[in-house]
Structure 1
């Protein structure tokens, strides 16, 4: 999504509460032109974000893209942001809030925005926000009630576990869900989580383009579930990241078989940090010349 119009970039400028107060006050006096505000890696805290929220709830505010990664925002800041955007939800398209202290409570406040039928958010980044199963449940429930706008969801380095991923899978199988990019690196996902993801995407395979699942406990059995998705002729996945997922020869054989059987849309497969033996190395060497895989770039072998 290209944002057209003025933007302000104040990344990593040591701005604290008073700076956020001044910025919000200035923009409230002339709110209708600003489209993009990049304020990541500053010292906003909840108080600073509350000042910014007073801008966001102004009906004349047309901001489309807001970056607040790494701004020490906790539950109260998430509550203020969600409340402000619920009162003026139709313009915001991208919200980046990674590396904050949301926790499940903060994410539940944000979920109340996502389920608003007037919310048209397309990209949401919540990497490393201390989200556990209850937060994943709240996000999935909210997006199921309003699923058609979200295109990119980043949730890496949270504590989803298999249970959290099962909640998310209930969203992915919804035929109205048109999510294209999903990032779940290092989310403590095991065999059951991979099974749930693969099953959900097999039932609604045509939208997902990028799936990042590195640093999880897939193992060979988890990768076998995912291979059943790749052999689906309706699967349009273009990038798959499975780095450091404890995959050995058995899992590599399943992946190779799936990719040989289907003229895949896959263009990029990342496999660094796994344990392929000589037989897997040979299989993937042959795979590179297979007619169904002529556009596929394989990294890590």
Structure 2
């Protein structure tokens, strides 16, 4: 006779039944339920079912018997370990629930020591517990808590969602959690570890865990408020793009504003900005994106942008305020270069940028304010900033209406012993800047400080003529004399010098003594002398075997302006 038939018999006087560890499944629980329920004369008051598997409905059916006032059953043992029993009692007392009848348990803000965590994990591992969602936000969990939870994930249990946010897990905690995530029995679908002090190593552990587990069920991951380091975001995106991986939703950004900015830039740039170090928003790629949203994105720890280019974007004072706020309010900002070319900051914007430069917490070392409508007054404020021990090493103020008076004001700051600035750019064009950089290295002095440009002994090098011309044509160049003594001038170098003569510069004298010129080189130079824009008054060169034809081409200029050796 079956046990259920015995229990259902009205003549049965059984008070206690122990069928623990008897491999009973859901159908067996249904039979026990039916037998006791169908027998109004049942004397069963105690039932031990520990170590069996009730399936989805078994526990619920047994509890219905206990709650039935017609039924004498009042004691049921379901949990195998005393530790699990303690967890059951704690949850019942703390939350006022029966955890064996719950699909979700929320213990947020309840501080749990290691002993309590171990008890809860033992409860979760019992087959009579079917909690699907466990929320442990801000519970004081630690690295050791992760070991216990990893053992839960390694079991073939019902937990599908685990929220461990706002706990100090660190990379070491995630590494311990990794053993559970990479286990083929892990059924977890959603994991939230936001604000858990996780760094780059923690992201690597999560990547390895999911990548190495072909059976991983993880579809959603919340990493907000952590620091991915240089590679973290890239690794997680590789998981999303892997067609073998089920992960399809990852949350990195802390605020809705940052998410909206990220979505906007994804469409504008056709790439996720979290994967970029250089954010180029030139020519209005910024669109109608709200400045505060951009700030929120840049302030997020998952943004690793080191350079922002927002040239020609019509950014006004409000835009400058937002950029200032984004950089200033984020002490962990990686931003080292800010390119604001072609945007008029207004008086307020200028002050904000200068305050940013002066902030010792700011890591900016390059600021470009080319063509930003800066004036003499802008230089007054900047002079005091330069006198401070600032991090900025390069400042581009070219193509602004600074005038001599503005530059003179800057001089005060530049002469200060605390000034750390290494490059201050005034020149109009990139070609002029390149020429200036080339000559700075060749001469070991800034050519803008010179009236006499001595490029003797082949210091001209391979500098392009158009770039040299751009430099000498710039209003900041005061060069009136070029000396190229003892140079082996090539035809290309002569072309470069000819290009200089063809432009309106301040150059009045060119000395090519002891520098042999080929016929073609001499002709390049002499052809420019008749042009009206050529300001040259003195050209000195030695005759080193030039043909009569070459010399004749210059003969019409052989007056006080030109001498030959």
Change (3 A) 1:101 1:21: farther
In 2, the alpha carbon distance for the partners of 1:43 and 1:243 equals 33
Match of 2:480 among 252, 255, 262: 252
Kindly indicate whether the alpha-carbon contact (under 8 Å) linking 1:46 and 1:73 is maintained by their aligned counterparts in 2: no
Shift of 1:93: 0.9
Give the distance between the partners of 2:386 and 2:288, measured in 1 at CA.
25
Give the deviation of 1:166 after TM superposition.
2.1
Which residue of structure 1 lines up, in the alignment, with residue 450 of structure 2? 226
Q: Residues 87 and 210 from structure 1, CA distance in 2 versus in 1: closer, same or farther, beyond 3 angstroms?
A: farther
Partner of 2:405: 163
Q: Give 1:24's aligned residue.
A: 262
1:242 to 472, 479, 483: 472
Aligned twin of 1:80: 322
> Would the alpha carbon gap of residues 135 and 25 (structure 1) be closer, same or farther in structure 2, given more than 3 Å must change?
farther
Residue from 384, 390, 393 that aligns with 1:141: 384
Aligned counterpart for 1:273 among listed residues 500, 504, 523: 504
Q: 2:371 aligns with which of 128, 137, 142?
A: 128
Provide the C-alpha distance between the structure 1 equivalents of 2:306 and 2:352, rounded to a whole number of angstroms: 20
Aligned residue runs from structure 1 range 96-245, under 5 A:
96-147=339-390, 149-185=391-427, 226-227=450-451, 241-245=471-475
Q: In the comparison of the two structures, how many residue pairs are matched?
A: 225
Unaligned stretches of 5+ in structure 1? 8-19, 187-204, 214-224, 231-237, 261-267, 290-299
1:156-197 deviation digits (Å, cap 9, x = unpaired): 1212122321232223223343433332135xxxxxxxxxxx
Secondary structure, aligned partner of 1:153: strand
TM-score, normalised on structure 1? Answer: 0.58
Change (3 A) 1:246 1:179: closer
Specify the SS of the correspondent of 1:99.
Answer: coil
- 2:25 match: none
d(CA) in 1 for partners of 2:352, 2:504: 37
Indicate the SS of the match to 1:137.
helix
Per-residue CA distance 1:102-140 (angstroms, 9 max, x = gap): 133211111111111011212111111111122222233
The structure-2 alpha-carbon separation of the partners of 1:212 and 1:35, relative to structure 1 and needing over 3 Å to count, comes to farther
3-state SS in 2 of match to 1:95: strand
**Which residue is equivalent to 1:220?**
none
**C-alpha contact 2:368 2:396 (8 A) present in aligned 1:** yes
CA drift at 1:67: 0.7
Aligned positions of 1:48-63 closer than 5 A: 48-63=290-305
Assess if the C-alpha contact under 8 Å between 1:183 and 1:212 holds in 2.
Answer: no
| Residue 53 (structure 2) aligns with | none
Using a 3 Å threshold, how does the CA distance of structure 1 residues 42 and 65 change in structure 2: closer, same or farther?
same
Q: What TM-score results when the alignment is normalised by the length of structure 2?
A: 0.33
| Max Rg structure | 2
> 8 Å contact 2:375–2:402 — kept in the other structure?
yes
Conserved? CA contact 1:245–1:273, under 8 Å: no
Determine if contact 1:43/1:72 at 8 Å carries over to the other structure: no
Where 2:279 maps in the other structure, the secondary structure is strand
